[in-house]
A and B are shown apart, each in its own frame.
Chain A
Amino acid sequence: MNPKIADKVATTVLYIISGIIIIILASLLGYILFQGVPHISWHFLTSPAQSFEAGGGIGVQLFNSFYLLVLAMLISTPISLGAGIYLSEYAKKNWLTDAIRTSIEILSSLPSVVVGLFGFLIFVLQFKFGFSILSGALALTVFNLPLLTRNVEDSLRGVSDEQREAGLALGLSRWETVLHVVIPEALPGIITGMILGAGRVFGEAAALIYTAGQSAPALDFTNWNPANIASPLNPFRPAETLAVHIWKINSEGIQPDAVAVSAGASAVLVIAVLIFNLSARYFGNRLFKKMTAA
């Protein structure tokens, strides 16, 4: 073929491929939003789910998702900060550090269902936490840690060594310098990574089916005593999340309005994840501008 014509053909094909990808996303989003959004109402967002009849909501699941998210982030943030600090500030260049990095890489590539099964074995059975918020939060922590740690490490490495030297030369320890000089400067990157991690956690289901469980007992939203079994805050109650709920009603649900409920729930899930992603970008940029402001 004439090279000029080949060039034209190839360019056209590339445009078509890119167009198809855009159409796929557009139809995905369009389907979810057009099917789901009409179903979203205050009632849908706040009322409990129904097992056998139409008209169920996702109130409890929505609350569970957020509660699990908060708990999982509360546990994984400090650990990933500590681990990220170790890797960027203290790790020496030797085989041990290589081994640590490799194991983090392996953890990040493990299928989430394996993480869920591990959580089931350890947290649910071994530690006797049962199907509970706590088991779920711990499983999500395992799922989240490698990516958060790498994000913290990368963000800290992005801060120039001159800043560390400035702190050290004043007689501060490396730890103090990292905590009070390096971390504040790395904050935009760290926060962006945390919010993106939160988005991932929010939509995760496979790691939760056998840890947080697949049932959502009715909650008494007037009872905020964490020790009480009906309290929304009780960390030892089983807690089906929104993502698990979508899976559950689609694979074994017998509600007559299962499709509408899952469409609505999917729309809520996608919108929530969209908000996470957009806010990650927004806060990241804003903080970055603020830190580097002239």
Chain B
Amino acid sequence: MQELEKYSLDDTYIRPFDRDKQEIAIETKDVHVFYGDSEAIHGVSLPFERYKITALIGSSGSGKSTYLRSLNRMNDNIESARVTGKIMYRNIDINSDAVDVYEMRKHIGMVFQRPNPFAKSIYDNIAFALRRFGLKDKKKLDEIVETSLKQAALWDQVKDDLNQSGMSLSGGQAQRLCIARAIAMKPDILLLDEPASALDPISTSAVEDTLLALKDKYTIIIVTHNMQQAARISDYTAFFYSGAALEYDETRKIFTRPKIKATNDYVSGHFG
């Protein structure tokens, strides 16, 4: 690792999408995030293709997580945070006050860095929110719990005891439970914030397999600081540096022939 070089934020390459052929699930236009007076994200405009996995990479502090959290407005919960710009989803700007943030989050789910199952049974971890939203039919709930756990590749390990506490699971299992909980809502888009960073290699590969299997039903955006992981599972990769997206392209191009120097230095391990 060498001295941190300063890169220009103007030297960027954002891949153009062919909007007739490639369907865009969600897209940001000039999104800025402020914490109090300081600006953490300096105007990021990225489209995300439907049913693809997009990875957001960059060193810590590059703003990739902050950006991800603005996509389903989790930053609303931080008192000093302010997000400007447009986030287009289903032809409306979900960053506007007219949009019901709770309804929106049902369709744009999120999985966090550290597994955070509720202190409830495995079954209730998944069924709880569904019940809150009015689904009372026991058979239907059973069915959703089972399919979600199957999709998250956890069913076989827990099916005998769905009443055990979600907190009693190992890290990797707990994280897959959180994925199951998120996809039980049948979201369009699944945001994952370094979902494997707290996990051992075996659990990590289990979570990666889960994500690859989910790809044909969900648009997935994943923040990771693990470049091998980004290379293994994603179709597109955006490279974040100092609060800006400097390069955005197909993953194999980012890792083989990056167009700008900062990306090249980062993926070749020269900094971060």
Contact = CB atoms under 8 A, between A and B. Distances in A.
Q: Please say whether the chains A and B touch (CB closer than 8 A).
A: yes
Nearest to B128: A180
Contact of B132 (A163, A164, A176, A185): A176
Contacts of B181: 166, 170
A170 B77 contact: no
A166 B77 contact: no
Given A170-B181, A171-B103, A165 B77 contact: yes
Contact of A92 (B79, B116, B167): B79
B133 A171 contact: yes
Contact of B168 (A164, A165, A174, A294): A294
A184 B112 CA distance: 21
A173 B132 CA distance: 10
A165 B132 contact: no
Given A92-B79, A93-B79, A292-B167, A170 B129 contact: yes
Contacts of B167: 292, 294
Contacts of A291: 119
B74 interface: yes
Interface in B92-150: 102-106, 109-112, 114, 116-120, 128-129, 132-133
A100 to B, nearest CB: 16
Question: Which of A166, A168, A169 is most buried by chain B, counting CB atoms within 10 A of its CB?
Answer: A169
Contacts, number: 69
The bracket for how many chain B residues form the interface is 20 to 34
A172 B132 contact: yes
Contacts of B77: 164-165, 168, 174
Contacts of B132: 172, 176, 180
A163 B185 contact: no
Nearest to B103: A171
Contacts of B234: none
If over half of A's interface residues share one DSSP class (helix, strand or loop), that class is named, otherwise mixed; here it is: helix
Interface in A170-229: 170-174, 176, 180-181, 184-185
A252 interface: no
A160 to B, nearest CB: 8
A155 B181 CA distance: 26
A25 interface: no
Interface in A259-294: 291-294
A90 to B, nearest CB: 10
A171 B118 contact: no
A170 B105 contact: yes
A171 B186 CA distance: 12
The bracket for how many chain A residues form the interface is 20 to 34
B168 A170 contact: no
A170 B119 CA distance: 16
Contacts of A166: 112, 116-118, 178, 181
A163 to B, nearest CB: 6
A163 B72 contact: no
A169 B195 CA distance: 14
A172 B119 contact: no
B129 A172 contact: yes
Contacts of B109: 169-170
Interface string B176-187: 001001100100
Contact of A165 (B103, B104, B112): B112
Nearest to A159: B119
Contacts of B210: none
A172 B102 CA distance: 6
A145 to B, nearest CB: 26
A185 to B, nearest CB: 5
B84 interface: no
A60 to B, nearest CB: 44
B165 interface: yes
Contacts of B118: 163, 166-167, 181
Contacts of A173: 102
A185 B119 contact: yes
Interface in A86-121: 92-93
Given A166-B116, A169-B109, 16 more contacts: A92-B79, A162-B114, A165-B74, A165-B116, A166-B112, A166-B117, A168-B77, A169-B182, A170-B109, A170-B181, A170-B182, A170-B185, A171-B102, A171-B103, A172-B102, A294-B168
25 contacts: A92-B79, A93-B79, A162-B112, A162-B116, A163-B116, A165-B112, A165-B116, A166-B116, A166-B117, A166-B181, A167-B118, A168-B74, A169-B74, A169-B105, A169-B110, A169-B112, A170-B109, A170-B129, A170-B185, A171-B102, A171-B103, A171-B105, A180-B128, A184-B120, A294-B165
The 6 closest A-B pairs by CB, nearest first: A171-B106, A169-B110, A162-B116, A171-B105, A170-B129, A166-B116
Interface of B: 72, 74, 77, 79, 102-106, 109-112, 114, 116-120, 128-129, 132-133, 165, 167-168, 178, 181-182, 185
